[in-house]
Each structure stands twice: as structure tokens, then as C-alpha cells.
Amino acid sequence: MRIPLAAALGLFFTALYFGAAIFAAWIAPYGAAEIIGDSWESWSWAHPLGTDSIGRDLLSRMIWGGQTTILIATLGTLISFSLGSTLGFLAAVKGGWVDQLLSRMVDLMMSIPSLISALVVLSVMPVTLPVLILVMGILDATRVFRLSRAVAVDITVMDYVEAARLRGEKQLWIIFREILPNALSPLIAEMGLRFIFMVLFISTLSFLGLGVQPPMADWGGIVKENKEAIVYGVPAALVPAFAIATLAISVNLVADWVLNRTSSLKGGRG
Amino acid sequence: MTALLEVKDLKIEATAYPPGESPRNITIVQGISFAVEKGKVLGLIGESGAGKSTIGLSSMAYGRGGVRITGGSVLVNGVDVLQAGSAGLRSLRGREVTYVAQSAAAAFNPAKKLMEQVIEATLHHKLMSREEAEARAITLFARLGLPKPETIGNRYPHQVSGGQLQRVMTAMALCPKPDLVVFDEPTTALDVTTQIEVLAAIKEAIAETGVAALYITHDLAVVAQVADHIMVLQSGEMVEYGTTDHIINRPTMDYTKALVSVRSIEHVEKSGGDPVLSIKGITARYRGTNFDVLKDITLDLPAAQTLAIVGESGSGKSTLARVITGLLPPSAGSITFNGRTLAPDFEKRPRDDLREVQMIYQMADVAMNPRQTVGTIIGRPLEFYFGLRGDEKKQRIQELLDEIEMGEGFLDRYPAELSGGQKQRVCIARALAAKPKLIICDEVTSALDPLVADGILKLLLNLQKTENVAYLFITHDLATVRAIADSIAVMYQGRVVRYGPKTDVLSPPFDDYTDLLLSSVPEMKLGWLERTIANRKMEAAGN
């Protein structure tokens, strides 16, 4: 199996970030909240990325922060996809009032900008990790619902779905065995994109102070803590920004490649 | 007399991109040579993939989608168009050589009026002034038998019927007074009753304007009516070339003989027997409309026999299938199957009712899930209805594959890896897997090449004997009906206009519509078109 260069690059960086997140406890030189020096020390062998606003090791915070950010984004994406695509397929297959009810509810939710609804919900709920993940997952599921419904509506009118219905198949078989395999390509492409929107979303919330709460680290929070440093020419705030950008690009390179592998109809999946 | 179009040793290649492998060159057309003289028509005939359209387009030095002309020469009026360069080609296309595409509906720009599009090439090449071009277009409209030739040009493409649109496209091709017209399956998408009119119009226009033409089709009976010479193609190579008389009456090659004798299956009709399916007084309409698509349909289908439903598009044949399967509950009437009354809505039918009525679709491509292997497609009904698993299921799938004459090695293939005929066979196997008493065949052969379709029909006839299954056979093709039916119902505008045993329905006296339908089916005889048109004119004068 040959992996194209772009995909290899994407795989490398994605693996790097996810690996660092999973093995944070072994890799990170210091604890996330350990104060080990002066504020905003410059880059050195002891502290490759320097220190942050209150003298914590920035590399360690980046690794711990990556763990939080990637965990929230991954779980949020999983929730939004399982919820959004199942309901989207159901709406397409059932049609009629089920479709109307689900679609109009989603319209209603989408009519309020998701950042504002998130801010409102999070200001009245306790901001814990499960709540954050759930809120983000549900808000994002509306977008996935739209896409999967649109894709599935085109598939449900195909003769093979009609044949399955006439055979007497249950809705679950039709959704997961007839429609899902044929809707996979656009959904995978969307998944790469949605994951990145999740990373941006949680970073935005943390930057605004309603996301991950200190002393826990996450990339958005690190930007917020170090934003004043830019005035003094210290690049501490740019490090997490760079991490977010490279993660975004590499995840999408991988998604593109997976898409190419799965869109062949001649059994070319692997 | 020198030839207008002279093709010598033509070779055409394309690049294939098999997934996971490096791209490779494939030869589409090889060693083709022919010549067309002024005022003559050459018919190119062959199955899909034989390279007939590719050869036709090469006369304009055009290769569709990555297709390259890599060898030989194409001389139009003595000039090699393959060496012409882009400026030379621009003055050739739409002036010396024009093209009539298969699907007129897809070839017209829906946002522009017909007249604009008909005279566009003529104006572009500055061959006439706008007034002259419009006058010529109107003359051509009249010559092609279009209604209201003076004003039809002011309509948009969606405002005329498919057959009329095809004639407008012919007018478009003839407007710049070309030397050569390439007709690419101009009547294939039309109903037989429309086809005969378009065919007659095209033939007359060719004769009056004196252009030369390439006529591409897969239907030998059609090309026999218009062509002077016929070239039979198979897999990009020439099989036989000769005058129309020679090809139709004295073919020498086996492949040509097979093409000529296609649709000659002899089927002796069965009669009597208790009906497995009785339809009584069915009236149906689609939701949200106030128009009955089916009006008071009453039919009986005896067990292990075939009832053919014949009619042109829009006559309600497919809707009848939807009513029987329960996809469209009727607004009146009842369906009795095997002595039981079927629930109008398929969701309320017990599993055995669903199992015993199976369906085979026109487009095998979309009737099979592209993400399932042949094993899954055929295996699912076995698992679903009979609870077969593991080796038992595998064995039964193989039995079914043997029954449809496909043999081993197909279990793990995806539909995209099958040919058109194989796909339709797998669909038949899927229907058989349920051990049905009735199979509804909705135009199952109309998307297939004649020889492949013949194979499918023979298979269906054999299966009827071994499996004792009844067919409700929906088709617009009367030759197919002759080959397979025991009884026939002719449908027109949602009504059954004629119904009975095959020989009765197909023998006179006819009602007007059945007469029109029957006499419109092209016969593989020289001069059939003229005789039929002449007969109709005489009858019209007599009335």
C-alpha cells in the first residue's frame, strides 16, 4: 500500500499530537500546574518553549493542554456524529412528520449562533468536562444532522433501498446497512472538518474563560494566559496557535486520504 | 466520385486508471477504415462499448473525456482533420460536420429559446445573416414535420416533447448546410410510436438536403431503414461491412448473424389455470395530485405464466407495479394474491406476502447496493426469510449463481465489477432467493444490449419452467413481449385498452392504439419504414 506524501505528513503530525496527548503523563517534563521558574523565560535547553505568565514550563503545559483539547474535541465529535447522523438518517428514511419535527427543531437550534447558545448554557451550568463535551456535541450535531439528512434523502430513493423495504427490512437495517455505507464518504470528509471546528470551539470557549477552568491547561486557555506576552515580543501565545493550525491541517490531510480510499466502489477499502 | 469522409486505419486509445494500480493505455478502436460518399448514409452498429460513438466523433477529430486519436487519418473533403489544428477544427465543427446527440433533453440549454440554439452555429460561422438562418430553420422545421414551424422556435426546450426536441436538434445539425451529419443514437430514448416519426423525418431530410451521414445505433432494425451501407463493430474492431441488403439478408459473420436473428425466441403461449394474482378495479393516483394515473384496471395472471403489460412511457405501467407491490396504495379496487387479499400498504403485509412477490428493476446498477458484495446481495433474502447461515447459506448462494448461469468466483465481487448483463442476472438471483410465486419485471431488458437482453429473456423463460414462477412483465418493447408473454395487456393513458391471450392481442382486428403501437415496431426488412408510412397516409386519406 502506497501512502501519498500529503497523507504521510498528515498522519505523522496527527499521530504526534494524539501520541503526546495519550502519553502526556510520561512525556511531559513537569506537571501542568508546577511553577518552576520566572514568568516568560525565553527558550532554553531546560525549557524548550520557555515558561508562561506565572513561570510554568510551557512545553509541559502544551502537552497537558493538548490532552484536554484533543479529548474534548474527539468525544464532542463522536457525540455530534452518532447523534446527528442517526437522527438525520431517521428523518430521511421516515419522512413525514418525523422529518418535519426533527428538521424544524434543528432549524430552531441553528438560528441561534452556537457560540451564544454555548455561552448561555455554560453560564448557568457547572463548567465540568462532561458538560462541556455534551454541550458542544449537541450543538454541533445540528450541522451533522443537516448533512446526513441531505445525503440520505438522495440514497433513500434508490431502487436498492426500495428493494430492502419491500423485503420487509427494519429501519435499523436500512439505516445502518443500506444507507450508512453509501453515505460514509461525505461523512468522513465532514468528520475531519468537524473535529477541527471542535478544537476551535473549545479553544474559543476557554479563551473567553467559559471553557476548561484553570489550573487545568488547554490550548485556548494557554493563549488567553499568555496573550499579554505578545506586547513584549515573547512568542508564548503563538505556540498553542501554531499547534491548533498544524493539527487542523494534518487531520484534514488524513481525512482526504481516507476519503480517497473509501470512495472506490470496487472493494478498494483498506 | 471521391469520398466525402475517408477514414483510414483509425486507432483510438484512452488511459485507464484502475484503483491501486498504475495507469495504463487501453486501445478502444483499432484498424477501422471506411469511406462515405456524398448523399450516402453509413450505419455504425454494435453493442455498448463497441466504439461506435467514439468512431463517429472522430470524424470531427473529437475525443470524449481523455480519449485520444493516436493513429490513422480522417479525411473530410480531402483534408486530414487530425492534423488540422484548433483553428482548422473550429471552422470544421458546426460547419462541415455537425452532430446530433442521443439525449436531446440534455443537449439543449434550458435557458435559451430553441431558435437561438438552432441557428447559433450558422451565425457563429457567419454562413448566413440572421434572417436567412431563421428562414432556413423554419423551412427545416416544416420539412421535419414539426407543428407550427413558424413559431416553434420561440419555445423553450421544456415546452416541446422529447420526439419534437430530437427533430429540432436534427434541424440544428442541418441548418449550416453541412457536408456530413453524425447521428448518435437519435431515436434510442424515444417511444416506438415517436421513433417511427422521427426516423421518417430524418430520412426525408437526409434525402432532400443531400448530406452524407453517419448513423450510430445499437438497433439493426432501425439502421436498416436509413443506411445505404452498414458497418458492424465489436470491441472496437470491424466485424463486417457491406450494403444494407447484404448485412440484413446475407450476413457472413457469426456475430452479424446473431445480431440479425436477435429477438427470434419462439415461445408457445400457455393458457388457462387458476390466477395467482387478480387485480380488480384498481384506480390509483399519486399523493397531492388530482389525476388518476390508473383507471379501473382489472387483470388476472395465472400461476407460472407471464402477463406482459405494454405501453409507452406515461401509460401507467410502472405505477401498476407500485400498486401491486404496495408502494402506492390504490384509491379503489383490490388485489388478490394466491387466494388472499393483499393489504394495500406493503408495511401492513405479512412477511410471506412480501416474500412471494419479488421485483426486478430496469436499472440493475441502482437496484443493488454498490457497497455490498454479490454474496451479501443474494444472501440477505436467504438469511432474512429462511434463516440460512454460514455454509448452508453459502451453498445456496452458489446454487442460485449456477441457476443464473454465472458459476463460481462472484461471491466477493462488488456490483461495479460486473457487466450490465451480469448485474441483471444477480438481481434475478436475489429475487429467486426468496422463492417467490410472482416476479414483477419492470423493463428488465431495456437498458441492455440486444444480445445480452436475449440471454436474460432465455434465462427468465427457463427459470419459469424450473421454479414455477409467474411474471408480470412490464415493457415498451413488443419484440420482447412476443418472446416471453402468455397474455398481454396494452395500456394507454392509465387504461387497459386491449387484454387477452398473446395470439388474440397480436392478431387483427386491432383497436387504433394497438395498431399504431404494433405497426411502429421496426422490422428488420428493407423498405419497412416507407411501406409503413405509406400505409398510414393511405389510411388517413381513406378516413
| Per-residue pLDDT tens digits for A164-199 | 999 999 989 999 999 998 888 888 888 888 998 899
Confidence of residue B21 (pLDDT cuts 50, 70, 90): low
Count the neighbouring beta carbons within 10 Å of the beta carbon of residue B449. 20
Please, are residues A135 and A122 in contact by the beta-carbon 8 Å criterion?
A: yes
Q: What is the DSSP string of A74-120?
A: HHHHHHHHHHHHHHHHHHHHH-HHHHHHHHHHHHHHHTS-HHHHHHH
Longest dimension (CA), chain B: 76
> Among the three residues B260, B283, B304, which one is the final residue of a domain in this structure?
B260
Q: Are residues B87 and B197 in the same domain?
A: yes
DSSP B118-129: HSHHHHHTT-S-
Inter-chain residue contact A266 with B19, CB threshold 8 Å: yes
**Chain mean pLDDT for chain A:** 85
For the segment B119-123, the average pLDDT, to the nearest whole number, is 91
Same domain, B17 and B118: yes
Size of interface A-B (CB pairs under 8 A): 62
In 3-state terms, what secondary structure has residue B44? strand
pTM summary value: 0.80
Residue of B nearest to A180 (CA): B371
Q: Are residues B219 and B364 in the same domain?
A: no
Question: How many angstroms separate the Cα of B60 from the Cα of each of B28, B75, B85, B401?
Answer: 17, 10, 12, 45
Q: Do B34 and B77 fall within a single domain?
A: yes
Specify whether B77 is located in the same domain as B184: yes
Please give the span between the terminal C-alpha atoms of chain A, in angstroms, as a whole number.
9
Q: Look at residue A267 in the predicted model and tell me its pLDDT.
A: 47
Tally the domains of chain B: 2
Same domain, B219 and B298: no
pLDDT digits (tens, 9 = 90+) for B75-94: 888 888 888 888 888 888 88
A232 touching B, CB under 8 A? no
Instruction: Give CA torsion, residues B225, B228, B233, B236, to 10 deg.
Output: -130
From CA B203, how far away is CA B225, in angstroms rounded? 8
State whether B193 and B291 are in the same domain: no
How many Å lie between the alpha carbon of B319 and the closest alpha carbon of chain A? 14
- Distance separating alpha carbons of residues B496 and B176, to the nearest angstrom: 46
| β-strand pairing of B306-310 with B487-492 | parallel
Q: Per-residue pLDDT tens for B49-62?
A: 788 888 888 888 88
Cβ-proximal residues to B10 (8 Å cutoff; 6+ apart), any chain: B29, B30, B31, B32, B33, B55, B58, B69, B71, B72, B73, B74
The domains of chain A are located at: 51-262
Contact partners, residue A14, CB within 8 Å, separation at least 6? A247, A250, A251, A254
Task: Report yes or no: A178 and A164 within 8 Å, Cβ to Cβ.
Answer: yes
Does residue B354 sit in the same domain as residue B472? yes
Among A162, A169, A182, the residue with its CB nearest the CB of B370 is A182
B441 CB-side CA count, 13 A: 36
Are B214 and B329 within one domain? Answer: no
- If asked whether residues B46 and B163 sit together in one domain, one would say yes
- B530 occurs within a structural domain: no
Alpha carbons A154 and A174: distance in angstroms, whole number: 14
Query: Which ranges of chain A does DSSP label H, i.e. alpha helix?
Result: 5-22, 24-27, 58-94, 96-110, 114-124, 129-156, 159-167, 171-173, 180-207, 219-225, 238-262
Residues of B in contact with A169 (CB under 8 A): 384
Same domain, yes or no, for B254 and B289?
Answer: no
Label residue B238 exposed, middle or buried (CB < 10 Å: 0-12, 13-18, 19+). Answer: buried
With an 8 Å Cβ cutoff, is A96 touching chain B? no
Q: Which three cell numbers stand for residue B444?
A: 428488465
Using one digit for the tens of pLDDT, what is the confidence trace for A27-81?
Answer: 877 777 777 777 777 777 777 777 777 778 888 888 888 888 999 999 999 999 9
From chain A, pick out residues whose CB is under 8 angstroms from the CB of B354.
166-168
| A3 inside 8 A of chain B by CB | no
pLDDT single digits (tens) A1-32:
577 888 899 999 999 999 888 888 888 777 77
Amino acid in the structure at residue B387: G
Query: At which of B260, B292, B315 does a domain end?
Result: B260
In this prediction, residue A100 has a pLDDT band, given cuts at 50, 70 and 90, of: very high
Using beta carbons and an 8 Å cutoff, which residues of B are at the interface with A? 19-20, 325-327, 346, 349, 351, 354-355, 357-359, 361, 363, 366-373, 380-381, 384, 412-417, 430, 434
Question: Domain limits at B45?
Answer: 5-260
What are the φ and ψ backbone dihedral angles of B27, each rounded to 5 degrees? -90, 125
Predicted confidence (pLDDT) at residue A237 exceeds the cutoff of 50: yes
Whether the pLDDT of residue B24 is over 70: the answer is yes
B234 in a domain, yes or no?
yes
From the list B514, B512, B530, B534, the residue with the least C-alpha distance to B522 is: B530
CATH of region A51-262, choose from 3.10.20.30, 1.10.3720.10, 3.40.50.10140, 1.10.287.610? 1.10.3720.10
Whether B317 and B403 map to the same domain: the answer is yes
Per-residue pLDDT averaged across B317-338, rounded? Answer: 91
Domain contains B528: no
The three cell numbers of residue B181 are 451529419
Model pLDDT for residues B206-230, shown as the tens digit of each residue = 888 888 999 998 888 888 888 999 9
Please tell me the distance in Å from B262's CA to the nearest CA on chain A.
29
Query: What mean pLDDT value characterizes chain B?
Result: 87
Interior angle at CA B396, CA B394 and CA B398, nearest 5:
70
Q: What's the CA gap between B445 and A269, in Å, rounded?
A: 32
Subunit contact A264:B19, Cβ cutoff 8 A: yes
In this predicted model, what pLDDT tens digit does every residue of B177-194 receive, in sequence order?
A: 899 999 988 887 777 888
SS3 B286: coil
Mutating which of B368, B369, B386, B440 best tests the A interface, going by the most A Cβ atoms within 10 A? B369
All residues at 6 or more sequence positions from B195 whose CB lies less than 8 Å from its CB, including other chains: B163, B187, B222, B520, B522
- Is B175 part of any domain? yes
